[in-house]
Each structure stands twice: as C-alpha cells, then as structure tokens.
Amino acid sequence: MDGNYPKVPKYFLYVLFILGSWLLICLLHFRQPLFQLSGSGVVVILPFSRHASSSAPDDDRLSTPSSSSCDGRYVHMVDLPPQFDVCAEGSPAFNSEHSICPLMSNAGLGPVLTPAGNHSDDGDAGIVPNTGWYNTNQYALEVIFHHRVRLYECLTEDPVAAAAVYVPYYPAMELHPHTCGLFNATVRDGASEQLLRWLSSRPAWAALGGRDHFMVASKTSWMFRREVVDGGDDTGCGNSFLVQPESRNMTVLTYETVIWERPQQDFAVPYPSYFHPSSAGEVAEWQARMRAAPRPWLFAFAGARRPNGTLAIRDRIFDACDAAPPRRSCGKLDCGHGLEGSITCRSPRKLMSLFASSRFCLQPPGDSFMRRSSVDAVMAGCIPVFFHEASTFEQQYRWHERDPDSERNGRSNNDRRYYVFIDQDDVLQGKVNIEEALSRYTDGEVAGMREEVIKMIPRFLYKDPRVRFAGDMRDAFDITIDEVIARISRIKNGENLGRTYYSDGAVIANGS
Ligand SMILES: *[C@@H]1O[C@H](CO)[C@@H](O)[C@H](O)[C@H]1NC(C)=O
Ligand SMILES: *[C@@H]1O[C@H](CO)[C@@H](O)[C@H](O)[C@H]1NC(C)=O
Ligand SMILES: *[C@@H]1O[C@H](CO)[C@@H](O)[C@H](O)[C@H]1NC(C)=O
Ligand SMILES: *[C@@H]1O[C@H](CO)[C@@H](O)[C@H](O)[C@H]1NC(C)=O
C-alpha cells in the first residue's frame, strides 16, 4: 500500500473460507534445539524451545518462581515444531534474498553500533554512547519479544495453569520476502495458515478456542489483512494472517492497529528503537543527557518525498524545511535520492543526533499512520508532531502512553502535554504554517512537553533481552505482558470483549 492510505477492510463481509481444510501436521515432536541466524559473520544461537535450552539463564529461577509474585501472571510458551521455526537455516524465509533473518543478530537487537567518531560519515554523532545502542531493524520485535519471554520470571510448563499462552511464531519475518509484488495465495498465506491449523489442533487451544493465546506480528496490522477473493489477483501487499479465524481469537500485537475497528482485533505496541539498555542507571544517564542536550533546530524531519506528490503532506514538510534556512530552524535527513539517501537514513547515530538537537520532530503519515521514527523521537527527547489522529500515541500505543505516576499523583493523563497535533488538511489547505505554529510555543512550554517525552523513554524502549536487567524499571515489554494478561483474564471471566471494548482499562462503550 505504498503511498496510499490503507482502506478499512470489509470486516462484515468476511467469509469463513477455510472450513473443512484443516491441515493436521503430525510431525515427530523431537527437539530441534538450535535455531540459527547468521549474518555478517555473526551467528546467534537461540534455543527454540525453552526446555531444550542448555543456556537458559538461571533454570532454577524459571522452574521455581516465587509463587506469590507470580500468581495470576504465569505464561506458557508453546513449543513449536521445527518447521515453524521461520528463520531456521535453510528455511524459505532464511534462504530468500530479501530475508531479514540475518539482521536479527544479538537476540534481535542487530549489530552493536560502531563507536562514534570512527566513521566520518556518521557525523557529529557523539551524543549516542558506545554501549546499549544497536542498529536494530524495525521488524525485529518478534525476535526480541521471544527472547524476553524466555527470561520472563513466571513461565510455566503447564498451559492450564497459565494466565496466557505465548506463541513464538514470526509472521512478519515469514511474510517479509513476499510482502508486496506478484505472489499467489499459497505463497502469501500458506506458511502462517499451516501454523494456525497446527496451533488450533492442540489440546491447549480447545479450552478457550485459543482466546488465551497471544503472539507478536511485527508489521502494521494492514499488512496482515489482505482478503483473498476467489480468482483474485496476485498483486498488492500483505497476507491474510489477521483475518484467519484462529488469529481473530488470539490477542495479536502489531506495530499499528486499525483505530476505527470495534471490537479491536489487534493491539499496537511500540516499534523497537535503537536503545536497549541493561540497567536502569544507563537509562537515567541517557535521560539526563537528553534533558541537557542543546537543541539548535526548531524542528526536524527524517524521511523521503513520495513520487509525483502522492503524499502531499511530505512535500509540504520538505517545503517548510527548505524555506527555513534564513532562520536555520529545520534539520532534515533526506532519505530520498536512492541508495545514498537510504544509507544516510539508516545511520542511527546520525538520526539520533539530529533528533536530539531538535525541539520538535515531524511525524507525518507514510505508508501507514504510525512511524518507527515517532518512537526514535521519544528516545531523543524530541517532541513529536503528529498530522493525523491515527498517528498519535493515544490512539496507537495507549498501553504505553499512559503515565501511571502522573495518575497516582491525581493528575489526569489528559493534562499531560507531550506532543503537538497539526491537522494535515490545514497544512495542505495553507491554513497552517508549520514553522509558525511551532515557534509559538514558549521555551517553558517546550521544556514542559519535553520533560513528559523524556519520562516516556523507559516505557517505549525494549531492554536488552539477553541479560537480567539491573535495577527496577518497567519497559515496553513489561507493560505489554501485564496488559495482555489483564485482557486475557477478562476474557476468561466471560466478559464479552466482542461487544465491550476497553480504553485505558475502562469500559467506554457497550452495545447492549
Ligand atoms: C576505527 O576502526 C578501525 C577498524 O575499523 C580501528 O582499527 C580503529 O582503531 C578505529 N578508530 C577509532 C578512533 O576508534
Ligand atoms: C503459487 O506460486 C508458486 C511459486 O511461484 C508456484 O510454485 C505454485 O504452483 C503457485 N500455486 C498456485 C495455486 O498457483
Ligand atoms: C474462537 O472462539 C470461539 C469462542 O470460544 C469458538 O467457538 C471458536 O471455535 C474459536 N475459533 C477457532 C478457530 O478455534
Ligand atoms: C510520475 O509521473 C511521471 C510523468 O507523469 C510518470 O512517467 C511516472 O511513471 C510517475 N511515477 C510514479 C511512481 O507514479
């Protein structure tokens, strides 16, 4: 759906077209312990099933968690047979020239960033420290999340005792080599359909029809909603993973959900950025650095124009930026201009140093509404500027956007100001000038909003999933797990989430 707004799919016309085609895959359930990802000389060995792991940290802790703190929080991780190990060496996703499996070294974090100051093309990127920062691929969450679950303190072997059942399948890694282009339904949907049929044939599924199962699908929701029409064409983007009956029963975590959909079918969680600390001290240090950073730019933008003005808001933003030089108010990373542009934009040091030297970071819609860049902006303490309601954290990342501290202190979350909203239609119609609108905020207002952004950093980052985190800090994963368990326990209590939906934990609408 490059360059276009995604259409809202026709949920109500959705037909159960797969009945009677259950594929029961009865393979030997032997242990296939090693799952290899190799790339640029790095080989990571990830035990695919937890108990096959010889390197699982602290097995005592895993098997005897302190029962009181784990009450109601047990998670069971499904032991997937080897054919569902998407990135296994020799698998279709691994062998494809478009595979992103090789980018998943370091438990999904990707390569450590090269030290600052070594490569001249990294610019004055000394703001980013030399530890805790990785060149993380934007689709890496499936792998990072899987590793985090393996370290989760309340794992159980017994699906019946579990509050929630995690399925460590990687639908986005599988889809990636054939996301867009000419591919038939078998190529697009085959692998994930087989996984779903296998999953739903297991006893653990039967009790609740899979409604206690959850998994990560690390692309936008739109990419998993391609409806298959009989004899339909093989072009376009995405597969039908999220419109399968099994995934409709599960809680699926994506990067961007369809905010208008009720009941909500999948739940958005933040893109991984580049910062994956292993201690709370590291985070506090970075937050202090972002508070103190000089910010000469009023606003910044990293992105590309779209061909032939197909995304007019992008053109207006480039115009605003190019018009700025007399006052030097805009910093930009132009990701256009082919390979060179995309290489520039793939330098996390350059990107973070731009964002850390800007007050506001513009986040117009792109292929879809939410951008990874919005999460990068949070990491840099740069106040995001959204141009569409569906791009806001309130609409997409509402689990992570809420500030529990501010609620405890009796402040409503609505009082928190940490972003600017400029309606893109107003910009396109010439009613609003971006630079003028942003320069109206006083230094005090900017500092106040920035402080809220900086306080969000822990909730929007993913800790290093390979080590035990030092210190007390809840990250995006911790928040997600708690919310998933809370949602599944409401399902188990018989609440009809089909008709009732939740916002910030409160019932806000009920059809009956
Ligand atoms: C830069 O990298 C090279 C290897 O790529 C290394 O030999 C050299 O010591 C590095 N220089 C600095 C200043 O880190
Ligand atoms: C789908 O495409 C694959 C690979 O191009 C091909 O092998 C297969 O026969 C096609 N299936 C159908 C049903 O057309
Ligand atoms: C989904 O859940 C409902 C309610 O528990 C159940 O009736 C249905 O069979 C489930 N669907 C699948 C595909 O398991
Ligand atoms: C842009 O427009 C030109 C001329 O109208 C056309 O040749 C070209 O194919 C268009 N490009 C895209 C990507 O639509």
pLDDT 10s digits, 395-449: 999 999 999 888 888 777 667 899 999 999 999 999 999 999 999 999 999 999 9
Give residue 414 CA to ligand 4 midpoint distance, Å: 44
Tokens describing residue 219? 């692309």
Hey, which of 249, 491, 497, 499 would you mutate to test ligand 3's pocket, going by the most ligand atoms within 8 Å of its Cβ? 249
- Inter-residue contact 352 to 128 (CB < 8 Å): yes
* 46 pLDDT more than 50: no
Q: In this structure, what token pair is assigned to residue 281?
A: 């001290």
What's the gap in Å between 112 CA and the centre of ligand 1?
14
Beta bridge partner(s), residue 77:
166
Give 305-310 contacts, CB < 8 A, sequence gap 24+.
Answer: 305/336, 306/3, 307/3, 310/3, 310/4
CA of 115 to the centre of ligand 1 (A): 8
pLDDT at 496 over 60: yes
Q: Cis peptide leading into 263, omega within 30 of 0? A: yes
pLDDT at 497: 67
Which pTM value belongs to this model? 0.83
Residue from 311, 315, 312 nearest 323 by CA? 315
247 CB within 6 A, ligand 3? no
Cα of 306 to ligand 4 centre, how many Å? 11
Euclidean distance between CA atoms 147 and 153, whole angstroms: 12
| Whether the predicted pLDDT of 20 surpasses 70 | no
**What atom of ligand 3 comes closest to residue 210's alpha carbon?**
14
Contact 142, 171 (CB under 8 A): yes
460 and 400 Cβ atoms separated by less than 8 Å: yes
Residues with CB under 6 A from ligand 1: 115, 117-118
Model pLDDT for residues 189-201, shown as the tens digit of each residue: 999 999 999 999 9
Tell whether ligand 2 has an atom less than 6 A from the beta carbon of residue 184: yes
Determine whether the shortest distance from the Cβ of 234 to ligand 2 is under 6 A: no
281 vs 495, residue with greater confidence: 281
CA-closest residue to ligand 3 atom 2: 209
Q: Whose alpha carbon is nearest atom 1 of ligand 4? A: 308
Distance CA 140, CA 107 (A): 9
Ligand with the closest atom to the CA of 185? 2
Determine the distance from the C-alpha atom of residue 40 to the mean position of all C-alpha atoms in its chain, rounded to a whole number: 24
Q: How do 297-303 and 330-334 pair as beta strands?
A: parallel
Cα-to-centroid distance, 127 and ligand 1 (Å): 18
> Nearest bound ligand to CA 309?
4
Q: Which helix (H) or strand (E) holds 508?
A: strand 506-510
Two structure tokens written together for 17: 């077209």
Q: How far is the CA of 72 from the centre of ligand 3 (A)?
A: 23
How many CA atoms lie within 13 Å of 126's alpha carbon, on the beta-carbon side?
Answer: 2
How far CA 439 is from CA of 270, 388, 433, 509, in Å, comes to: 29, 20, 10, 39
Q: Under CATH, to which class is 280-460 assigned?
A: alpha beta
For 231-244, what is each residue's pLDDT tens digit? Answer: 667 888 999 999 99
Q: Kindly identify the ligand whose nearest atom is closest to the C-alpha of 115.
A: 1
Which ligand is nearest the CA of 119, by number?
1
* Domain map (residue ranges) of the chain: 11-104+140-269+478-492, 280-460
Would you say residue 27 has pLDDT above 80?
A: no
Q: How far apart are CA 284 and CA 290, in angstroms?
A: 10
